[in-house]
Amino acid sequence: MSDGKRVLVKLSGEALIAADGYWLNPQTLTTLAADLKSAVDAGFRIAVVIGGGNVIRGAKVGAAGWIDRATADSMGMLATVMNSIALESALEAAGASARTMSAVAMPSVCETFARQPALHHLAKGRVVVLGGGTGNPFFTTDTAAVLRAIELNCDAVLKATQVDGVYSADPKTHPEATRYDVLTHDQAIQQDLKVMDTAAFALARENRLPIIVGSAHGPGAVTAILTGAAPATRVTP
């Protein structure tokens, strides 16, 4: 993928968990911030959506029955803002200009998301960290990532996973699984490859938004995927 492109990076909140189980690993955050700064330095315009699963997963809590799903999802949205402002702080410490924008208004903590200000930040070379999901319950951060990517005229979504692309089966349990270099949206649906949750993937397909799937673990992983130096699967219209 050439530089000058606008990319939304979708990160898992679980990736931030420390080895001892604490919800936030400072070293992981520092490494990730340095990687995103490298991507900006390489010429990419970067927006980020990060999940809140290291703190709470609304769907799981809601399914347990002791709290209703809408409330649990609201708690999850707040968790994503916590992760977002932590990442913003790490980015600034790494020398990258960053802004957190939340779909849930909390002006004493961060900016409220609006499309035009977000586009302005991107044009200025700032990393825009988008918290609060879509601002509504019952939608995942996958859906928020695709929605924001479309709103911000991104060229692609990079979904960071624990493996280096999309496989025909789980490579951890099926070592014979095949990794795909390129897929179409239709092929991913027909083969039920679980690129993203159903609502997110349907939105990406409808808007012909490419999705890049790769491993963002380790120093420089995001930049390596974007520059073509690391393997990844590209899901195209």
Whether 140 has a binding-site annotation, put simply, is yes
Whether 180 has a binding-site annotation, put simply, is no
* Distance of alpha carbon 220 from the chain centroid: 16
Whether 162 has a binding-site annotation, put simply, is yes
Whether 54 has a binding-site annotation, put simply, is no
Q: How many CB atoms lie within 10 A of CB 42?
A: 14
Whether 52 has a binding-site annotation, put simply, is yes
Strand positions, DSSP E, 132-222: 156-161, 166-167, 179-180, 182-184, 211-215
Whether 57 has a binding-site annotation, put simply, is yes
Whether 138 has a binding-site annotation, put simply, is yes
Whether 193 has a binding-site annotation, put simply, is no
Residue 220, sorted as left (phi over 0), alpha (psi -120 to 50) or beta, turns out to be left
Residue type (1 letter), 121: H
Whether 84 has a binding-site annotation, put simply, is no
113: exposed, middle or buried (Cβ count in 10 Å: 0-12, 13-18, 19+): buried
Whether 186 has a binding-site annotation, put simply, is no
Whether 116 has a binding-site annotation, put simply, is no
Round to whole Å and give the CA distance between 37 and 46.
Answer: 9
Whether 173 has a binding-site annotation, put simply, is no
Whether 13 has a binding-site annotation, put simply, is yes
Q: How many CB atoms lie within 10 A of CB 6?
A: 17
Whether 11 has a binding-site annotation, put simply, is yes
Whether 53 has a binding-site annotation, put simply, is yes
Task: Please give the C-alpha separations between residue 29 and each of 7, 92, 101, 154, 163, in angstroms, as whole numbers.
Answer: 19, 12, 18, 24, 19
Whether 21 has a binding-site annotation, put simply, is no
Q: Please name which of 38, 223, 57, 29 lies closest in space to residue 141, comparing C-alpha atoms.
A: 57
Whether 113 has a binding-site annotation, put simply, is no
Annotated binding site: 10-13, 52-53, 57, 73, 134-141, 161-162, 167, 170
Annotated binding site for UMP: 52, 73, 134-141
Annotated binding site for ATP: 10-13, 53, 57, 161-162, 167, 170
